[in-house]
Structure 1
Amino acid sequence: MKLEFFFDCSSPWTYMGFEMIQPLAKEFNVDITWRPILVGGIFNQVNPGVEFFKVRERIPQRKLDHMLKDIGDWEDALGIRVKFPPTGHPVNSVKVMRACLLLAPQGKLVPFARRCFQVYFGEDRLISDDAVITDICKDTGIDSQWLFPAIAEQSAKDALRANVDEAIARGAFGSPTMFLDDVDMYFGVDRIQLLRKAMERNRANR
């Protein structure tokens, strides 16, 4: 089985999915292919004329109130802290998502991304801020003096853009988006139970 996880650290639902997808993959003995993206970049292309950073203004208050209940329920279920909305939401996550791309081959993507989620949603600190990113690097054993020049390279910019373009081409419209065996797409934390069923069928058919 091939399992891909397209994600952006600026999304609370992605934080939940990030924590849920790892034990699921371990249970099925499947490696996760982590695919960093910019959810705003996907949104702006899929929804032309609707500005991503103003979309929250269009959500009815009743729906927002229920969303906060949902978030609280997920916090209890997963044992994580999610303040919503955090300061500056939605945050520009481009630097940390480029960093995730560069850290993946080193095996450091997961601890770095997890700390980004914790800092943004648990500690209410902006992950767009260089000083905050530097602290995240310290917490995860990453050399920030190497990282900042590396994420400014054109190759890092192009790689993240390529992930966004690929996600859109394959049908994605948000984060988290998961693919099982390249073509079977699941969107959102609440679809992970459906992904599990698909993985069970896949395993049974082998």
Structure 2
Amino acid sequence: MKLELFFDCSSPWSYLAFEQAPSVAAELGLDLVYRPVLVGGVFNAVNRSVYDMRENVPSKMAWVAKDLSDWSRATGLAIRFPPPVFPVNSAKAMRACLLLEERGALVAFARAACEAYWARGEDISQEAVLAALCRSIGVDPDTVLPQLGSELWRIRLRANVEELIGRGGFGVPTFFLERDDIYFGVDRLPMIREAVGRARSSGDIR
């Protein structure tokens, strides 16, 4: 069975999902596929209420900070909310994820980017930060950064955004189990576990 994870390193919930999904996938024998997107593009197209909430519902933002603190304690992940630059333009970081996927380095780079932004408060929109992240995973930044403005990677990232929206997504992290079974949020991982067990016990999927 395939489990797709649409994520953006600028999302703390994506960071949590990125750290938890691999163990769930390994436990269940799922093929975990990482799908980088630009969540701002998703919000702009189908979920602009997010911006209104940030500006006009301080109680919700206070709850988000409390909830992330709870998640940080529960998981042991350092999460600083809000980081010094919030929201951040993660376009170059997410294009780098796509580029590095072809070299087998997507997971290492995305994890490094999440940690840099959410644990250390580094501005992942800056090329100097991205260069340091590349070096930290053994990748020459000179083979990555000059390509990030290329139309190729813009198109590929936009295609992932459009695919997520077309399949019913409205934010990140979004999971798809076997193409059409959608789950939104890191807290839905138990539901994915239950769905896999139900499908296998019924003989529908092995």
TM-score bracket for this pair, using the shorter chain length: over 0.9
CA contact (8 A) 1:86 1:124 kept: yes
**Could you tell me which residue of structure 2 aligns to residue 103 of structure 1?**
100
Unaligned regions of 5+ residues in structure 1, if any?
A: none
CA contact (8 A) 1:3 1:30 kept: yes
- Tell me the percent identity: 46
**Could you tell me which residue of structure 2 aligns to residue 191 of structure 1?**
188
Match status 1:176 vs 2:173: yes
**Could you tell me which residue of structure 2 aligns to residue 58 of structure 1?**
56
- Of 151, 155, 163, which residue of structure 2 is paired with 1:154? 151
Q: How many residues align?
A: 203
CA contact (8 A) 1:3 1:178 kept: yes
CA contact (8 A) 2:53 2:60 kept: no
1:137 deviates by: 0.7
- Secondary structure (helix, strand or coil) at the match of 1:106 reads coil
Superposition pairs for residues 75-114 of structure 1, below 5 Å? 75-114=72-111
**Could you tell me which residue of structure 2 aligns to residue 15 of structure 1?**
15
Quote the Cα distance in structure 1 between the aligned partners of 2:189 and 2:180: 16
CA contact (8 A) 1:43 1:174 kept: yes
- Of 45, 51, 72, which residue of structure 1 is paired with 2:69? 72
Unaligned regions of 5+ residues in structure 2, if any?
A: none
**Could you tell me which residue of structure 1 aligns to residue 163 of structure 2?**
166
1:30 deviates by: 1.8
TM-score normalised by length of structure 2: 0.93
CA contact (8 A) 2:85 2:121 kept: no
CA-atom RMSD, angstroms? 1.5
Which deviates more from structure 2 when the two are superposed, residues 187-196 or residues 90-99? Answer: 187-196
Quote the Cα distance in structure 2 between the aligned partners of 1:156 and 1:69: 36
Q: Deviations over 1:57-79 (max 9, x none)?
A: 122x3322222221111112211
- Matched AA of 2:143: W
1:158 deviates by: 0.4
CA contact (8 A) 1:44 1:51 kept: no
